[in-house]
Amino acid sequence: GRKFFVGGNWKCNGTTEDVKKIVSTLNAGELPSTDIVEVVVSPPFVFLTSVKSELRPEIQVAAQNCWVKKGGAFTGEVSAEMLVNLGVPWVILGHSERRALLHETNEFVGDKVAYALSQGLKVIACVGETLEQREAGTTMEVVAAQTKAIADKISSWDNVVLAYEPVWAIGTGKVASPAQAQEVHAGLRKWFEENISADVAATTRIIYGGSVSGSNCKELGGQPDVDGFLVGGASLKPEFIDIIKAAE
Ligand code: 13P
């Protein structure tokens, strides 16, 4: 089976005081066993080491990005090697905010995923359509092209979790319906089956992101092809514990 996966993407939020509060809430919360759920939180780079050292060991950390190749003269970037050196196991790549605001292309995201994996990181790779693309009926085409650009550059999906995050649902409170999420997740699984292998289709976790909350997580997580969540806003709140419990 595919172990339920709940990621908390803190994005560009938080002061040291906020971070202390979030960590102590997570440390005090009653969580399902690690046999049932894998939990990963993703603080901004500047808080990564302190969060990693202060968090309970059942919760792992992820960086929100890393450089596309070996570090060097790339001012302002953080390399995959640095994350490995710090003992950070995960990285989020291809988030729609970076695709849209920082013009990361499908190919660039594919290169980043490949490089991060080659260094031993595990990757939460994000795909998702805009509202315009959904309304034009091209959702599956868009997410398949984003997934293919990654598949073209990697040889194993073992260390990848695929996050389906419809852009129109991110930070809007307009969550995808369970049926809408299920449809795309099933489509992606079918894409894996037809283009990669039945094994990759059966084992790769496909998680949903976009306005996930304590009140909608149960129904979303109950869909057969929804293997967890990537949570933004609600991951900064005590509500994140309730979302993790949706794994039960
Ligand atoms: P929200 O949960 O705030 O909609 O953000 C989702 C997201 O982008 C997680 O990566």
Pocket (CB within 6 angstroms of ligand 1): 9, 95, 165, 170-171, 209-212, 230-234
Whole domain around residue 219: which residue ranges? 4-245
Q: Give the other-Cβ count within 10 Å of 233's Cβ.
A: 19
Q: Render pLDDT for 170-184 as a digit per residue (tens, 0 to 9).
A: 999 999 999 999 999
Check which CATH number belongs to the domain holding 225 and give it. Answer: 3.20.20.70
Atom number of ligand 1 nearest to Cα 175: 4
Q: What angle, 0 to 180 degrees and rounded to 10, lies between the N-to-C axes of helices 139-151 and 178-195?
A: 40
Report residue 33 CA to chain centroid gap: 20
C-alpha to C-alpha distance for 226 and 155, rounded to whole angstroms: 24
**ipTM entry:** 0.99
Q: Is 219 known to be catalytic?
A: no
Do 77 and 44 meet the contact criterion of CB atoms below 8 Å apart?
Answer: no
What is the domain count for the chain? Answer: 1
- The continuous run of DSSP H or E covering 164 comes out as strand 160-164
Cβ atoms < 10 Å from Cβ of 15: 9
Alpha helices, DSSP H, located in the chain = 16-28, 48-54, 80-86, 96-101, 106-118, 131-135, 139-151, 178-195, 198-203, 217-221, 239-245
Q: Which atom of ligand 1 is nearest to the CA of 172?
A: 4
Q: pLDDT tens digits, residue range 82-130?
A: 999 999 999 999 999 999 999 999 999 999 999 999 999 999 999 999 9
